C-alpha cells in the first residue's frame, strides 16, 4: 500500500476496470486508501460476450493488498445499469466520491464501409456510457456538494486517426461532456477532467500490423504500459487537485501534456458584408496560413515515447 494514502476514506467507481488502464487505476486508487467498485462487463475488444472473471480478479488483488473493493459486471451502455453501479457503491462500500469513465470498445473500419452497428455500439459504450455513469453519480455529488469525474478521451478525437470515425466522434464528444459537467456542477464543488492515455491495451492490440511502418508504430506503443496512466488519474482525484476542472491532459509513457481547447485563431471582417465571391477571394486566403493539416495522432506525437 502507498505510504501516504491520498484518497483515504474515498469511494471510487472505475468502469472498464478488469484489465489494462482501468485495472491499474483501480489498484493505485486502492493503494492510496480508496474503496473501489470495479466495473467490467468482461466482453471482447469489440464488445461481444461477458465474463465476470476480470473484474473479480481485480477485486481479489485489492483485497489481497489489504484494501476494500467490490465487483460490478454491468454494461455502462445501460442507463439503469449505471444507476445500479452508483447504488452498489453506496450499499457495499459506503458512498461515492470519484468516477473514472474508462470503459470502451473498438470497431475500427474505414468510414465508407462503417455500418450503423459499428457506429452505434462504439457511441453507446464510450459516449453514452460516460453520460450514463456520470448522470447517475451527479445526483449524489450534487447532494454531498463534492465529487470528481475523470473521463478517458483519445487523440483519435483530439487530433485524428484513420478508420476510427465512430471512436473519434465518441472521444471528442466526451471532451464536450466533461466541460459541460465542469461548468454545470462547479457550484456544487464537483470537478470534471479528461485524460487522453497512450498505452498498450487489448483495444490497441487490434491495430493492424500489415506493414513495417505499422509494426514499428505498435512496438513503440507497447513501451507505454497501462500503469503509466494511473498516477495522473489518481492525482486528479485527490484534494491536491481540487482547483483543477475542465481540463484535458494526455499521458504518454513518462510525459504529461496539457492539451489545447478550441479557441479562435484568426478573423477577418468586411464592413460591407460578405458575398460568396468575397469569402473565396478574401476570407479563405487570409486564413489559409492557419489551416490545420490532415494530421493523425502519430504526426503530432512524432517522437519516440520517453
The pLDDT value recorded for residue 7 is 98
| φ, ψ of residue 151 in degrees (nearest 5) | -115, 140
Residue 213: the pLDDT is 74
pLDDT digits (tens, 9 = 90+) for 90-112: 999 999 999 999 999 999 999 99
Tens digits of per-residue pLDDT, 53-78?
Answer: 999 999 999 999 999 999 999 999 99
Q: What pLDDT score was predicted for residue 199?
A: 85
Per residue in 189-231, pLDDT (tens digit) is 999 999 999 987 655 555 566 777 767 666 767 778 999 999 9
Would you give the DSSP letter of residue 189?
T
Q: Residue with C-alpha cell 508504430?
A: 217
Query: pLDDT band at 48, cuts 50/70/90?
Result: confident
Give the alpha-carbon dihedral of 298, 18, 30, 11, to 10 degrees.
100
List active site positions.
Answer: 167
CB proximity list for 71: less than 8 A, separation 6 or greater: 37, 38, 39, 40, 52, 55, 56, 58, 59
Considering the entire predicted model, what is its pTM? 0.92
**From CA 65, how far away is CA 78, in angstroms rounded?**
32
C-alpha cell at 22: 482501468
Give pLDDT, residue 208: 61
CA 138, CA 77: separation in Å to the nearest integer?
17
- Residue 217 has a pLDDT of 64
- Answer CATH for 11-261 from 3.50.50.60, 3.30.390.10, 3.40.50.720, 3.40.640.10: 3.40.50.720
Q: Are 28 and 37 in contact (CB under 8 A)?
A: no
Q: Return the bridge partners of 39, or none.
A: 72
Q: Where are the alpha helices (DSSP H) in 32-78?
A: 53-64
On the question of pLDDT at 40 being above 60, the answer is: yes
Determine contact, residues 290/265, Cβ cutoff 8 Å. yes
pLDDT value of residue 301? 93
Q: Which of 105, 108, 103 has its CA nearest to residue 133?
A: 103
Residues 45 and 287: their CA atoms lie apart, in Å, by 42
Task: Check if the beta carbon of residue 214 is closer than 8 Å to that of residue 38.
Answer: no
67 vs 302, more confident: 67
By the 8 A CB rule, do 4 and 37 touch? no
- Round the average pLDDT of the chain to a whole number and report it: 93
pLDDT band at 118 (very low <50, low <70, confident <90, very high): very high
Cell 465518441 belongs to 170
C-alpha Rg value of the chain to the nearest Å = 21
| Residue in the block written with cell 482525484 | 237
How do residues 261-281 score in pLDDT, each as one tens digit?
A: 999 999 999 999 999 999 999
Percent of the chain with pLDDT over 70: 92
How many other C-beta atoms are found inside a 10 Å radius of the C-beta of residue 206? 14
- Name the helix (H) or strand (E) containing 287: helix 284-287
Amino acid at each position: 500500500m502507498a505510504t501516504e494514502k491520498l484518497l483515504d476514506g474515498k469511494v471510487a467507481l472505475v468502469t472498464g476496470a478488469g484489465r489494462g488502464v482501468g485495472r491499474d487505476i483501480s489498484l493505485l486508487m486502492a493503494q492510496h486508501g480508496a474503496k473501489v467498485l470495479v466495473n467490467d462487463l468482461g466482453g471482447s475488444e469489440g464488445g461481444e460476450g461477458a465474463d465476470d472473471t476480470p473484474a473479480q480478479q481485480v477485486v481479489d488483488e485489492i483485497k489481497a493488498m489489504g484494501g476494500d473493493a467490490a465487483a460490478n459486471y454491468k454494461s455502462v451502455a445501460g442507463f439503469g445499469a449505471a444507476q445500479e453501479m452508483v447504488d452498489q457503491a453506496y450499499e457495499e462500500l459506503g458512498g461515492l466520491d470519484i468516477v473514472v469513465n474508462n470503459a470502451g470498445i473498438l470497431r475500427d473500419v474505414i468510414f465508407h464501409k462503417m455500418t450503423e452497428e459499428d457506429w452505434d455500439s462504439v457511441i453507446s459504450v464510450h459516449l453514452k456510457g460516460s453520460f450514463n455513469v456520470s448522470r447517475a453519480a451527479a445526483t449524489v455529488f450534487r447532494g454531498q456538494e463534492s465529487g470528481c469525474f475523470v473521463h478517458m478521451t483519445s487523440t483519435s478525437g483530439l487530433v485524428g486517426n484513420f478508420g476510427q470515425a465512430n471512436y473519434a466522434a465518441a472521444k471528442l464528444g466526451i471532451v464536450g461532456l466533461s466541460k459541460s459537467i465542469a461548468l454545470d456542477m462547479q457550484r456544487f464543488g464537483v470537478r470534471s477532467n479528461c485524460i487522453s492515455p497512450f498505452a498498450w491495451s487489448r483495444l490497441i492490440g487490434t491495430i493492424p500490423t500489415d506493414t513495417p511502418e505499422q509494426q514499428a508504430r505498435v512496438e513503440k506503443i507497447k513501451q507505454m504500459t497501462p500503469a503509466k496512466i494511473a498516477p495522473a488519474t489518481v492525482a486528479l482525484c485527490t484534494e491536491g487537485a481540487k482547483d483543477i476542472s475542465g481540463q484535458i491532459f494526455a499521458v504518454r509513457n513518462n510525459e504529461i501534456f496539457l492539451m489545447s481547447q478550441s479557441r479562435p485563431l484568426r478573423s477577418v471582417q468586411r464592413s460591407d458584408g460578405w458575398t460568396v465571391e468575397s469569402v473565396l477571394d478574401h476570407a479563405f486566403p487570409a486564413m489559409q496560413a492557419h489551416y490545420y493539416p490532415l494530421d493523425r495522432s502519430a504526426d503530432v506525437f512524432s517522437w519516440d515515447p520517453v
